[in-house]
Chains A and B, each alone.
Chain A
Amino acid sequence: MSKYEYVPEPALVKGNHDFASLTRLVTDVNLRPTPKGWYLAMIGANSLLLVLLVAIGYLFWEGTGIWGLNNPVGWGWAIINFVWWVGIGHAGTLISAILFLFRQDWRTAINRFAEAMTIFAVMCALIFPGIHVGRIWVAYWMFPLPNQMDIWPNFNSPLLWDVFAVGTYFTVSFLFWYVGLVPDLATIRDRATDKFRKWTYGIFALGWTGSNRHWWNYEKSYMILAGLATPLVLSVHTIVSFDFAVSIIPGWHTTIFPPYFVAGAIFSGFAMVLTLMIVARKIYGMKDIMTDDHMEKMNIIILVTGSMVGFAYMMEFFIAWYSGVEYEKAIFLLRATGPYAWAYWTMMICNVVSPQFFWSKKLRRNVYFTFFISIVVNIGMWFERFVITVSSLATDYLPSSWDYYSPTIWDALTYIGTFGLFFTFFLLFLRFLPMVAVAEIKAVLPQADPHNYDDNDEYQAPEVEVPESQARFY
């Protein structure tokens, strides 16, 4: 192999780690006594969760009227939050599946973490379609269950597609996550000293031994799941976008939505992973695994997807003008200049302008700046959904029915409450499950490659020659 063709990766794991030290680094977190800070964080998260329960309880009691919805604007924060959380939930599966298929080994540092985030984000998202309906107690009619009324759901409805898409997405993501967890659960089982941990981790480890006959099927399964999850992850936000795109409302009825929603989902998902990763790696000392190189790579993806989203925003305007449809033209002008212009420009600044800073390598590798932008991006993506959902409904065809939507305190509490749910689960995850896929990251250590051993079976670290022309990147 010629040294000039090979563009080597920087070492994926920093520091002088061997297999055992990695195991300890990751799994000791689960085996140590619970730190006090964790309890504090948990109290905070649980308080927010309580807010969510109260908000939902009051919603059950009073009806959807407690939200700020009105006649033209039948969907408000609930749907915005739904789309936002589902969007965030795209990062995990994307990192696990698509990067796996593209042989991006750096994914191993963050995939477990991102998948967990995905599952919890999708759980937060799933709350909303369930509770936003007027008669929650009959929401099960959306499922094709045999009944004495002899009536079935309407499979022509994008909302029903949503039920299947998000349901499938959650199930497959969960399976994917769990399959990945099994070898690591076995690791903890084998390291645990108390009976309770041995039992609980043992049950979920399913008797995993590390057999290479098992690994053989396991890898096959993992690859198939990745192959399935890749179109799935693209389909989910595509179908979520169908809720809007298949409708007839100007500003919704547009074919650009599927790619633009998927790009936006990746955009916001990576931002959320970064937000969480930057905090977690600091607290749990995982900087050797979740390195600045990872952060930079993710920032590049944020830059790319952010620009895609920005391109989509502009293309919407172009198409609105080019279509010659007066309602279409009006809605986009109104977005930028109408009653919701403040939301529109918030979105533009957060989503299109802020990622452009990542053209600078220095800023890409700046932890604090990245943290800041990752939050800005998620604010921007929330506003994107706000702009799409609300502004189109508020000013559609008949000027007579135009009306302004403003949320109530219950809209806000429900949204805030979902963070309680999210962080409660996330804290439980950090505490009880390995936050890094240990088995996978071991496999990408140079020690794992039999080729890196000499004839005496001694480890020889591979020599990496970085060509001059490439060196400046690292």
Chain B
Amino acid sequence: MKDLEPTDQQMSEVKKNTYWKSLNELAQNKEYQKFTEREFPENASELTDGVSRRGFLRVMGASIALAGLAACRRPVQKILPYSNQPEDVVAGNPLYYATSMPFQGNLIGLVAENHEGRPTKLEGNSLHPASHGSTNIYNQAATLELYDPDRSRSPLRNGKGVSVEDFAEFASSHFSNTNQRIAFISEANSSPTYNGLKNEVLNKFNNASWVTYEPFGEDNAIEGTQIAFGQRVRTLYNFDNADVVLSLNDDFMGSNHPNGITYARQIAAKRRMNNTGDSMSRIYAVEDSYSPTGSFADHRLKLKASEIESFTYALASALSGRINGLNAFSGINNQFTDHHWISVLADELISNSGRSAISAGAEHKAEVHAAVGAINLALGNVGNTVSYLEVPHFNEQNNRQAFADVVEQMKTGNIDTVVLVGTNPVFTAPDDLGFEEALSNVSIVVNLSHYVDETARKSTWHINRAHFLETWGDGFSFNGARSVIQPQIQPLYNGLSEIEFLSTILTGNLDKGYNLVQNTFSGYYSSGFDARWRTILHDGIDTQDNFSAASVSLASSFEVTSASETESSGGIEVVIRPDPTLYDGRYANLGWLQELPDPMTKITWDNVALMSPNTAAALDVDNEDVVEINVNGKSVKIAAWIQPGHVDNSITLYTGYGREGIGRVANRYIDYTAGGVNTYPLRSTSAILYSNAEISKTGDAYEIACVQDHHSLEGRDMYRQATIDNYKENPAFATFKSVHGYDVPGMREAHELEKEAPVSLFREQEYPDNISYPEHEPQWGMAIDLNSCFGCGVCVIACQSENNIPVVGKKEVKRGREMHWIRNDRYFVGDNVDEPQAVHQPVPCMHCELAPCEEVCPVAATTHSEDGMNQMTYNRCIGTRYCANNCPYKVRRFNFFNYPKEYLTTGDDPDIIQMAMNPEVTIRFRGVMEKCTYCVQRVNRAKIEAKIETGSPKPADGTVQTACQQACPTEAITFGDLTDEDSVVSQAKSNDRNYQMLEELNTRPRTSYLAKITNPNPALALDINQE
């Protein structure tokens, strides 16, 4: 990556230096007028291929009648070179800059790919400990958020558009009264600059109160450590050292966990099987709803969320007799005391003392976290698999309590001004607090947010927030690495970042975020700052001053306060969780995330009431039947969905849907009702995770767009797995012969003829020396390790971002026309209907050497390249769909409509979303087929670079990473040159577990799978058998 040397000059001389650009700036110059004619604001750079590329196929279709005439003379195209060329920019070559994305207040290090000044793709920063080079779905979707045309575009005063200068003027007058009673309600933020400003604010305003409010977060975990250790610290796991992991309803690998990328990477690394000699960790999951972590576990126990607490105490109690430090739990007797799992887990944890880790779901009570902390401490895990970090920006008081107190103050009229920073409590606050009502008691409400959201509409002042890709910022990763946020583009709508916003409130001036951040960092270094700063910007991370580990001991006052016997009420309970693809709703307007299938249910565009088959039968409902869920007088109507593996008598609801008025995507897409139901009204302060509910069937039905209709493998062999013992006994368990007991047809004859591939009636193409492919080219191949995939779906989003895959909308998904080039199949397997195992299998194009799709194309639009890829030539395609029919893997996607047009043109707006498009990939027009290309644009770029540098078009191993591979947090996907025997992918393919899907068809896929290995505990396996 290249480093960017930002100077004041670059920031201030926007006009001269066209590298940075904003729409408002454009509005004043004449390029802006052409903005709608051309599809990109390419004022800054030479018109690239990509710029006009995307328009072409569309124009071809729209003006077919004109084609004959227009062919005589082409339309005039203009090239706009730089006036003064920035030093780093080589027109046509992308630049890469480090930055970071704040997620739940913690930073994840990223590298942004920029084309002529517009970031188009985000990758993980391999130097950053929260990323290790990979990303989660929200990181990938951030580019779309940046170019979201529905983002708020200007400050609003009582709903009327004003300028940011007006706000500065207001701030300097209104906030000159330092004695007013101000409540600051902020999102979680780890930024040292921000927290510095927070302290300044609290110093300046005598009667100010500051609360941090997040609808989901680590509040309970922090309270738990307070109870257990008397310290408000962060729990950080190091699964690299954990041989046994117990998750108590904690989806720590999932996208919503603030440290999910790292945890997933660690867990997968601990379970990687390169040969039969390797060992792997064992994971136990106790959970109510099926989570990706649960699907990755070796053993999974279904418990209602309300039972987790009792289960935890029963476990602690069982351990208390055998190890020291858990005296507080001795004598607890509850319904789980005699549970088979308790004794098995106790044995397992004790025999792995110091090498085990127990985690609890973030929303569980503080007492549960306290108990888990005590157990981890007693087991000697602290320091090995668990550490506790002192986080400087944690507030002293309980955030949730503080928030409730502030709301109470607002209600009673004791607050004059409320400042809301990046948070949306009108939408997300627990219903019993009555936040909206409380807010109406406050005379001045100032809000900073990306969208004119529910809270912004109730505010006196709304300030449009700058996206993190537009602003300077800083912060810490979850594990405490200090990082910077480096802007990639000038704010498109002149928004303010949260530090600029606070600074304006403090000073009344519009300060530049760059100065604020640089000041913070220059404070850290008394000498040599400039060089240090350059390194920090280049690396995106400051290696110094990370969080320090707290030494913890059990608080002397620690005791189990809550009732030891928490008998569940027996009724149906409702559990409310953040959505696996939209989180708390802040990403609801991002089409990529709306259309990303839920990892476990494969539902897009909506939330549903997840329930077990038994519960559904008891309620007499089926998929898509609308049920009314009533909790303490509040009710929502939502479609039911049967989730195998869900605990009985429990319903899981996701938040984040049912948003109103924030954008076209979140509200409704095209002409079809989507966007789900707001479930926050069912949440209350006393029942933040679960509460008892009454369910009734309404008799209505609501269509749900689920991308997978069939969830059983039907006994087929697409997915292969074995226990580690079986693997060691029979390392070749995954081969076709092992699975079926006989060879692939034609293979026996092939052995006789000493050939490697099955013999068939058909001749194959041969190059000289009897090889199938020319030697002067690399031969690409991919291996997907099923032992690492837990179904998060980031590969899907990364591919969507890299390859300009359109969003098609709920209606089209419902019709079965989703466009994702890589999909993540999820099957439920196993003989036990109540305890199905969920498995994940990513399926991109297999790039078959003997591709069935190629033979049937009448116009040779899909053929084979010399580097062994199945090529799809869009501009030759006439759209017979025969190739898709004839693909046994069903990986081809057809543009039934002009999806890119609907997706890229957003009504009356300039087509700003097009700026998110990768200029190196053709936008596909209506009527053409498309599919995974192995990211051929990356491959070809690498080949050209290698050819120029070395004379050979074979790039060094690792030079080319496909988008899915690069994004994958568990490194499940490997890609590279098969002619290089030492390449990572060749190594992976030589693994015993390597198998080809549908090998008997003799399509010879270049993409193969490594079978999954599970590590069950014999004690529990027996248990299941006995049942």
A and B touch in the complex (CB under 8 A): yes
Any B CB within 8 A of the CB of A457: no
Identify B878's interface contact among A73, A75, A142, CB under 8 A.
A142
A64 and B927 within 8 A (CB): yes
Pair count A-B, CB < 8 A: 165
Chain A residues within an 8 Å CB radius of B709: 402-404
- Check if B443 is an interface residue, CB within 8 A of chain A: no
Provided the pairs A68-B815, A154-B857, A400-B710 are in contact, do residues A247 and B852 lie with their beta carbons within 8 angstroms?
Answer: yes
Whether A159 pairs with B896 at a CB distance below 8 angstroms is: no
Does chain B have a CB within 8 A of A132? Answer: yes
Q: Which of B713, B859, B879 has the most CB of A within 10 A?
A: B859
Q: Which residue of B lies closest to A248 (CB)?
A: B852
Complex Cα gap A163–B880 (Å): 13
* Pair B716/A74 contact, Cβ less than 8 Å: no
In the complex, B928 has a CB within 8 A of chain A: yes
Pair A69/B878 contact, Cβ less than 8 Å = no
Are B858 and A159 neighbours in the complex by a CB distance under 8 Å? Answer: yes
- Scoring A residues 229 to 252 as 1 if CB is less than 8 Å from chain B, else 0, what string do you get? 000000000000001001111000
| B860/A152 in contact, CB under 8 A | yes
Contact of A134 among B818, B881, B886 (CB under 8 A): B881
Q: Is A139 an interface residue (CB 8 A)?
A: yes
> Would you call A216 an interface residue if the criterion is a C-beta within 8 Å of the partner chain's C-beta atoms?
no
Q: Is the CB of A397 within 8 A of B889?
A: yes
A398 engages B825 (CB within 8 Å): yes
Is A72 in the interface zone, CB < 8 Å from B?
Answer: yes
Q: Which of B67, B718, B815 has the most A CB atoms < 10 Å from its CB?
A: B815
Cβ contact within 8 Å between A247 and B885: yes
Chain A residues near B1003 (CB-CB < 8 A): 248
**Is A134 touching B926 in the complex (CB atoms < 8 A)?**
yes
* CB nearest to A134 among chain B residues: B879
User: Given A133-B879, A400-B710, are A64 and B843 also a contact pair (CB < 8 Å)?
Assistant: no
Per a CB cutoff under 8 Å, which of B818, B858, B927 touches A63?
A: B927
Is the beta-carbon distance between B859 and A134 smaller than 8 angstroms? no
**Given A75-B881, A141-B878, A398-B718, A135 contacting B927 (CB threshold 8 A):** yes
B885 with A393: CB separation less than 8 A:
yes
Point out which of A62, A157, A396 has the most chain B C-beta atoms below 10 A from its C-beta.
Answer: A157
Which has the most chain A C-beta neighbours within 10 Å: B852, B855, B857, B890? B890
Residues of B near A137 (CB, < 8 A) are 61, 64, 67
> Shortest CB–CB separation between residue A149 and chain B, in angstroms?
8
Q: How far is the CB of A333 from chain B (nearest CB, A)?
A: 11
Residues of chain B from 51 to 72 with CB closer than 8 A to chain A in the complex: 61, 64, 67
Is B766 at the interface (CB under 8 A from chain A)? Answer: no
Chain B, residues 861-902, CB within 8 Å of chain A (1/0): the string is 000000000000000111111101110111001111110000
Decide: A156 and B881 in contact? CB cutoff 8 A: no
**Contact, CB under 8 Å: B881 / A65:** no
Check A72 against B890 for contact (C-beta < 8 Å): yes
Q: Is the CB of A142 within 8 A of B827?
A: no
| Contact-residue bracket for chain A | 35 or more
Chain B count of residues within 8 A CB distance of the other chain: 58
A404 and chain B: residue at smallest CB distance: B709
**Quick one: given A65-B817, A134-B878, are A400 and B998 in contact (CB under 8 Å)?**
no
* A139-B861 Cα distance, complex, nearest whole Å: 12
Q: Which chain A residues numbered 25 to 78 have a C-beta less than 8 Å away from chain B?
A: 62-65, 68-75
Contact with A154, one of B715, B859, B890, B896 (Cβ below 8 angstroms): B859
Cα–Cα distance between A74 and B881 once the two chains are bound (Å): 6
Is there a chain B Cβ closer than 8 Å to A151's Cβ? yes
B710 to chain A, nearest CB (A): 4
- Which of chain B's residues has its CB closest to A250's CB? B888
* Contact status A397-B998, CB under 8 Å: yes
Of all chain A residues, the one with the shortest Cβ separation from B816 is A70
Q: Tell me if B712 is interfacial: C-beta within 8 Å of chain A.
A: yes
**A130 CB, nearest partner CB in chain B, Å:** 11
Within 8 Å CB of B841, what residues of A?
Answer: 400
B876 CB contact (under 8 Å) in A63, A68, A141, A398: A141
Which B residues are in CB contact (< 8 Å) with A256? none
Cross-chain contact A71 with B890 (CB below 8 angstroms): yes
CA of A462 to CA of B843 in the docked complex: distance in angstroms? 77
Q: Do B885 and A154 touch across chains, with their CB atoms under 8 A apart?
A: no
The distance from the CB of B816 to the nearest CB of chain A, in whole angstroms, is: 3
> Is there a chain A Cβ closer than 8 Å to B1001's Cβ?
yes
In chain A between 377 and 416, which residues have their CB closer than 8 angstroms to a CB of chain B?
A: 393, 396-404
Give the residues in chain A near B852, CB-CB below 8 Å.
Answer: 247-248
> A154 contacts B889, CB within 8 Å?
no
Inter-chain contacts of B879 with A (CB < 8 A):
64, 133-135
* Contact partner, A133, options B714, B718, B880, B885, Cβ 8 Å: B880
- A139, B928: Cα distance in complex, Å: 12
Taking a contact as CB atoms under 8 Å apart, the answer to whether A157 and B858 are in contact is: yes
- Would A134 and B928 be within 8 Å (CB), given that A74-B881, A75-B885, A398-B843 are in contact? yes
Question: A398 touches which one: B826, B857, B890, B898 (CB < 8 A)?
Answer: B890
Contact B708 A400 (CB under 8 A): yes
Q: Which residues does chain B contribute within 8 Å of A132, judged by CB atoms?
A: 880
B807 to chain A, nearest CB (A): 15
Q: Which residues of B contact A152 (CB under 8 A)?
A: 860
Whether B858 contacts A247 by the Cβ 8 Å rule is: no
Q: A304 to nearest B CB, angstroms? A: 32
Task: Verify if B944 is at the interface (C-beta below 8 Å from A).
Answer: no
CA distance A156 to B61 in the complex (A): 28
- Shortest C-beta distance, A196 to chain B (Å), equals 37
Chain B CB within 8 A of A210 CB: no
Q: Let me know if A399 and B716 touch, CB within 8 A.
A: yes
Partner of A399, one of B827, B855, B889, B896: B827
Cβ contact within 8 Å between B885 and A142? no
Q: Which of B888, B894, B926 contacts A248 (CB 8 A)?
A: B888
Encode B699-735 as 1/0 by CB contact (under 8 A) with A. Answer: 0000000001111111110100000000000000000
Residues of A132-170 at the interface with B, using a CB-CB cut-off of 8 Å, are 132-139, 141-142, 149, 151-154, 156-160, 163
Cβ-defined partner of A330 (8 Å) among B714, B858, B880: B714
Shortest beta-carbon distance, A322 to chain B, in Å? 15
**Interface assignment of A219: CB less than 8 Å from any CB of chain B:** no
Report if B856 contacts A (CB, 8 A).
Answer: yes
Q: Does A190 contact B (CB under 8 A)?
A: no
Which residues of A have CB within 8 Å of B877? 134-135
Q: List 9 A-B contacts (CB under 8 A).
A: A63-B926, A65-B817, A134-B877, A134-B929, A136-B927, A137-B61, A149-B876, A163-B858, A399-B712
- Chain A residues in the interface with B (C-beta under 8 A): 62-65, 68-75, 132-139, 141-142, 149, 151-154, 156-160, 163, 243, 246-249, 326-327, 330, 393, 396-404
Extra inter-chain contacts (18) besides given A153-B859, A154-B860, A398-B825, CB under 8 Å: A62-B897, A65-B926, A68-B815, A69-B894, A71-B816, A71-B884, A75-B881, A135-B927, A139-B878, A141-B859, A142-B878, A159-B880, A247-B882, A247-B885, A248-B888, A326-B715, A397-B888, A401-B708
